[in-house]
Chain A
Amino acid sequence: MNTEALKDLLYRIADDQLILGHRNSEWTGMGPLLEEDIAFSSMAQDKIGQSLALFNILNQLGEPPADTAAFMRDESSFRNCIFVEIPNGEYDFSLVRHFLFDTAAAIRFDMLTSSSYEPLAELANKIRGELKYHTMHANTWMKQLGSATPESIRRLQESLDSALPYALGMFEQSPYEGELIREKIFGGEVLLQQQWQQKVAEVLAHTQLNTPDWNIYRPVMGGRRGKHSEHLQPLLDEMSEVFRIDPNAEW
């Protein structure tokens, strides 16, 4: 098995989950409803838990322990897409990102349940219930607000239009794409993107939002190669602040 290809894949997924988990946790205590605040915070916690599980697998492959991997790496070694690092904006944008990202995450992990790399297949199978809830939550909100009032429809549409170029950057290919597919570790970004577009269109068909014309967007790429926006470094500084002050602290 090509370990470099595998590690690259694991870092991409782990970093996506960690960075978006941290971003979404910024809503804790400020959500639009008490119940939604709890749900969104729980899902952020799930994402960080999923990244922890992936960092633990990486650790087994000789990479640093989870806390070191999460808190001590340089910005340029993060493999997350730019989509997950851009600021939360208003709640409509955060919801749209949650919908677009979690739809892809659920399909990605579903593909990974049949990965030839067993620890990854086991993890994907284990967290299927969490992912099912995340997409159920996202789809229900999209259907609700996507056909509720002129204001809710307009706001979701504007957020969708501004999020889609970034969302397409989720599928930036790995230099190891061919190896991953050949060794049946992962079915590949192209297949994932096809299924994602289909699913996104399917949910949007239940709303008054426009079905995206995928050809008009220019994907915002670079994150998978460590080329990030100006928003990642401040997030990393805040996320790792306590750990960097005292790496041996226990709580």
Chain B
Amino acid sequence: MNSLDPRVIRLPKVGQPGEILPKAPLDQFSTFEVFVQPKEGKPFQHEGIVHAPNLEMAYVLAKETFTRRFTCSSLYVVETRNIFLSPLTEGSQNAYDLISDEDDNAAQKEPYEIYHLLKRGKQHIHAGTVQASTPRDAMASAKKALATKAVLNIWAVRSADIRLTSPDENDLWLTLPEKKFRDAAEYKGGDKLKKFLEGTQ
């Protein structure tokens, strides 16, 4: 089927009777979610997505894609499919009301990171770490430990799935505050235009 419409190209193959085929591998990179800590002591927040062939490449590409301006003290990335989402609520409904708080009493628990969306259009912000056996269990633990106010959405990520910035990589942003030339405001374009217009009157 030849079409210029990507939706048509992505349609599943009809196949032949009796034929069993493996699913075609992705013909493009996976996506990875990027979290940035703007300043020491502040929580990490979700900044966006990069395409990359693997987690390490995602970290390398995220560093310049999302932290080449303003300030940054740390960064981490996680593959999109490793992020688990609660239902998204509207208005005043708390997303935690839609989450069970039953502990699954599993013997093996490990750390999960929890993120809250407090306002539509804003970013998910790191709320804390809980011990859990599954993403569902992590949300249940978060409901007990971190649900201090109404949130619109909750994300849970297994800590082991995150590519963190290691302590010896903390100096990657050492000269960033000096790179004001990447900030449009630094060029004071409005002031220059005003001066030019005044000069031509």
- Interface set of A (CB-CB < 8 Å, partner B): 33-36, 38-39, 42-43, 45, 49, 126-130, 132-133, 136-137, 140-141, 144, 148
Contacts and interface: CB of A to CB of B under 8 A. Distances in A.
Contact of B171 (A34, A43, A132): A132
Interface in B31-71: 50-54, 56-57, 60-65, 68
Given A35-B51, A35-B65, A129 B174 contact: yes
Given A35-B50, A137-B60, A140-B56, 20 more contacts: A33-B51, A34-B51, A35-B52, A36-B61, A38-B61, A39-B61, A39-B63, A42-B64, A45-B182, A126-B175, A127-B175, A128-B174, A129-B173, A129-B174, A130-B174, A133-B64, A136-B60, A140-B60, A141-B57, A148-B53
B172 A133 contact: yes
A129 B54 contact: no
Nearest to A137: B60
**Interface majority SS on A: helix, strand, loop or mixed?**
helix
B65 A129 contact: no
B174 A144 contact: no
Q: Say whether chain B's binding surface is mostly helix, strand, loop, or mixed.
A: helix
Interface residues of B, number: 23
Contacts, number: 60
Contacts of B53: 144, 148
Nearest to A133: B172
Nearest to B63: A133
B19 interface: no
24 contacts: A33-B29, A33-B61, A34-B51, A35-B51, A38-B65, A39-B61, A39-B64, A39-B65, A42-B64, A45-B179, A49-B175, A49-B179, A127-B174, A128-B171, A129-B175, A130-B174, A132-B169, A133-B64, A136-B169, A137-B60, A140-B60, A141-B60, A144-B54, A148-B53
Contacts of A136: 60, 169
Contacts of A137: 60
A248 to B, nearest CB: 16
Contact of B57 (A128, A133, A140): A140
